[in-house]
């Protein structure tokens, strides 16, 4: 079982729709969760972090964390073509002494005009 799992996609949504990206993790001791956006040929860019159960909203982005079910999700409202990118989920867990992040392989999002 991979430590952090994501569906590779692509996830295709029309412009203006809600895009829902999911991530599951295996270590119950995980405490910090991050979503990075990576455009093709570019470096990962941090867009959301979440540390406690529930929802965290920032503009069009909402991160949702459910530690009991060991998943974290990212919702993108009013999706725009400029949101087309690969979204990486990253987790900091007890196995790594919380010093390192474990990354999923990413979900590719395509937003069509």
Partner 1 sequence: NAGVTQTPKFRILKIGQSMTLQCAQDMNHNYMYWYRQDPGMGLKLIYYSVGAGITDKGEVPNGYNVSRSTTEDFPLRLELAAPSQTSVYFCASRDKVSGPYEQYFGPGTRLTVT
Pairwise CA distance, residues 83 & 33, whole Å: 20
Q: Contacting partner 1 (CB under 8 A), which of 49, 61, 70, 75?
A: 49
108, 8 in Cβ contact below 8 A? yes
Q: Which stretch binds partner 1 (CB under 8 A): 10-18, 55-63, 67-75, 92-100?
A: 92-100
Report the SS3 class of residue 83. Answer: helix
Pairwise CA distance, residues 68 & 57, whole Å: 20
Closest approach of partner 1 to the CB of residue 65, in Å: 14
Q: Applying CB under 8 A, which residues contact partner 1?
A: 4, 8, 32, 34, 42-46, 49, 51, 88, 90, 92, 98-101, 103-106
């Amino acid at each position: 079982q991979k430590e952090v799992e994501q569906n590779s996609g692509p996830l295709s949504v029309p412009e203006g729709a809600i895009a829902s990206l999911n991530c599951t993790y295996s270590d119950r001791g995980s405490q910090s969760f991050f979503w990075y956006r990576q455009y093709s040929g570019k470096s990962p860019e941090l867009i959301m972090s979440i540390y406690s159960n529930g929802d965290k909203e920032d503009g069009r982005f909402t991160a949702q964390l459910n530690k009991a079910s060991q998943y974290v999700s990212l919702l993108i409202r009013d999706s725009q073509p400029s949101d087309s990118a690969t979204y990486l989920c990253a987790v900091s867990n007890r196995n790594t002494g919380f010093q390192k992040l474990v990354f999923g392989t990413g979900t590719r999002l395509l937003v069509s005009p």
